[in-house]
Amino acid sequence: MGVVTGVRVAVRRARLLPPWVQRADAAAARRVNGWHSHPHVDRFWSRLTGFADKGVLWFTIAGVLAVVGRRRAAARGILSLTAASALTNLIAKRIFGGDRPTLEDIPIGRRLPVQPSSRTFPSGHSASAAAFATGVALESPRIGAAIAPVALGVAYSRLHVGAHWLSDVVGGITIGAGVAAVGAAVVRPRPGPPPTPLPAGADRELPASPEGEGVFVVANRSSGTSIVRTDPLDVVRDRLPLAEVRILDDDEDLGEVVRDALARTTPPRVLGICGGDGSVAAVAHEARRAGVPLLVVPGGTFNHFARTAGVPSAEVAAEALQRGEGVRADVAELAFGDADPITVINAASVGIYPDFVQAREVLQRRLGNKWLAGVVAAERVLRRAQPTTVVVDGRRAQVWTLFIGLGRNDRDTPAPLQRQYLDDGLLDVRILHAGSHLRAIASLAFGRRTAGLLRRLRLIPERVEAYTDTEVTVDVRPRGGQPPGFAHDGELAVDEPAAASADLSAPGYRTTVRLVPGALDVYRPAVRTTRMEGPR
């Protein structure tokens, strides 16, 4: 039967393709199939090609890009992918068609559990990969260059698992890149970082320190780093030579280091933090208790709070400190039972996002890279996620995620990780009710500009429940035998083992998020333009 099938495929391909293409395909197939790779290598390529099925890999990466403020790049990548996928699967495959390589030629350890049955030319996986990577590169060349090896890996994986011929992959890459290029001609890209949003909040005079005297800055290297930013500590040391800079060791507790500094005979007059949002929240908590202002030096992967405050770089932070310019910001307190409340600067949540944070922390320790750990963690959460049962202010619901953000946000943003205003005086509650996994991830990834299109494509739910309040009480019920974790500002406030402990035992645990208006003084440049009105 295998010989007959092979002859039939060869005859059909001879009718459709020029001889030189057939020879190239056959040579590439012999080379790839004849390579004796380790089973772990075969498993890697199989999992990569499976992760790219239905664009899940690209939606995951787009979600990460959207969360870190690269929504235009994420949107162009997804729109390019969508157009290329439609062109490939609905038109090109019907016109050109073709048979896939015969199963007998593929090493057993590489074969997919379910062999694709659609026509082979062009490769849909390759077209989607090339379209997404090219689309992102048009908006952000550096990020596009980082994604390109992943896209090429997906294209090669189709050869490794024997799902396509070389010509199928080349054809898919050509179509995908071409679709993205046409899209760029229709809607011109805007390379470069997104503009800094107009900071919110009334200007406030704070203690000035032209050279950093009386300033204690803690740097948390484990917060991750931006892929397009130089080391902010070099700027701090250059602009603020008298500031005390303390780099946190891996085994040190950030809060304890700050409290020790505040307990000195001559405590610092300003607390500074160079790190991500979780580190900022921890130092903000100590700054509130000590009654001193906070200097935020963007030094993490995402830096949501710093961007909202109008401090996009270490240079801007240093300038605000030297001039004594700042703002008073709202925070929230997250309380579990009788424990001391935790300071929240952006948002608190339960559901998919804490699952993602917990998985990312475990993987980061193994992989050593926060970005890579985030992508792998998102894939695992997407594949294994279960709805969470919560009781919100007395109302029971099954949700993918519950977000409680500071300040009113875009109406179509189900997961407002970055606040828009510093002194709005309200909590913004978003409840994403349980549905399909793909719709949940798409909802968490995209905001107002792409929400309409994604709804029409049935990729996100029709409605996300949203309302505002100043205090929210949440009862979290067990899931899979134990209560799920609770997160704030990109960090776990309660992980699953802690949630299952004696003091937070079944039938779950209760937490309260309460707004504290004007509780934190933050350095930022004075705003000399008219403040924009918030969403109503």
Structural domain contains residue 527: no
Same domain, yes or no: 269 and 363: no
**Residue 217 confidence (pLDDT):** 96
Strands 325-336 and 203-205: antiparallel
Same domain, yes or no: 328 and 353: no
Same domain, yes or no: 169 and 219: no
Structural domain contains residue 532: no
DSSP count for the chain of H helices, then E strands: 19, 16
Same domain, yes or no: 354 and 323: no
Upper half-sphere CA count for residue 343 (Cβ side, 13 Å) = 22
Q: Which segments within 209-318 are labelled E, that is strand?
A: 215-219, 244-247, 270-275, 294-298
Same domain, yes or no: 132 and 86: yes
Contacts of 317 (CB under 8 A, 6+ apart): 295, 296, 297, 298, 306, 311, 523, 524
Question: Considering 156, 186, 216, which residue would you say is the last residue of a domain?
Answer: 186
DSSP per-residue string spanning 427-456:
EEEEEEES--HHHHHHHHH--HHHHHHHHH
Same domain, yes or no: 160 and 14: yes
- pLDDT one digit per residue (tens) for the chain, 536 residues: 444 444 454 445 445 567 777 788 778 878 887 788 888 888 888 888 888 888 888 988 887 787 666 778 888 999 999 998 888 878 877 777 677 776 666 777 777 777 776 777 788 899 999 999 999 999 888 888 889 999 999 999 888 888 778 888 898 899 999 999 998 888 888 755 444 444 556 788 999 999 999 999 999 876 555 444 568 899 999 999 999 999 988 788 999 999 999 999 999 999 999 988 989 999 999 999 999 999 999 987 678 899 889 898 999 999 999 999 999 999 999 998 778 899 999 999 888 777 777 777 677 667 666 666 666 666 666 667 678 888 998 889 888 888 899 998 876 666 677 788 899 899 999 888 776 555 555 544 444 444 444 444 444 444 578 899 999 999 988 876 666 778 888 887 764 444 444 344 446 788 999 999 999 999 999 875 434 444 43
Can you read off the two tokens belonging to residue 351? Answer: 């559901």
CATH classification at residue 33:
1.20.144.10
Instruction: Check residue 88 and report its DSSP letter.
Output: I
Measured distance between the N- and C-terminal CA atoms of the chain, rounded to whole angstroms: 68
Long-range contacts of 190-198 (CB under 8 A, 24+ apart): 190/72, 190/139, 191/138, 191/139, 191/140, 191/141, 192/140, 193/228, 194/69, 194/70, 194/71, 194/72, 196/307, 196/310, 196/312, 197/307, 197/308, 197/310, 197/420, 198/310, 198/527, 198/529, 198/531, 198/532
Q: What's the full length of the chain, in residues?
A: 536
Same domain, yes or no: 360 and 332: no
Strands 395-406 and 347-351: antiparallel
Structural domain contains residue 524: no
Segments forming the whole domain that contains residue 495: 347-516
- Rounded CA gap, 447 and 281, in Å? 24
Same domain, yes or no: 439 and 386: yes
Same domain, yes or no: 248 and 383: no
Instruction: Check residue 276 and report its DSSP letter.
Output: -
**Residue 371 confidence (pLDDT):** 60
**Residue 316 confidence (pLDDT):** 93
Same domain, yes or no: 267 and 363: no
Structural domain contains residue 526: no
What is the tally of structural domains in the chain?
3
CATH classification at residue 466:
2.60.200
Same domain, yes or no: 171 and 279: no
Taking the mean position of all CA atoms in its chain, how far away is CA 87?
Answer: 28
- Check if the beta carbon of residue 347 is closer than 8 Å to that of residue 416: yes
- Rounded CA gap, 84 and 250, in Å? 45
Same domain, yes or no: 228 and 356: no
Mapped onto helix, strand or coil, the DSSP state of residue 334 is: strand
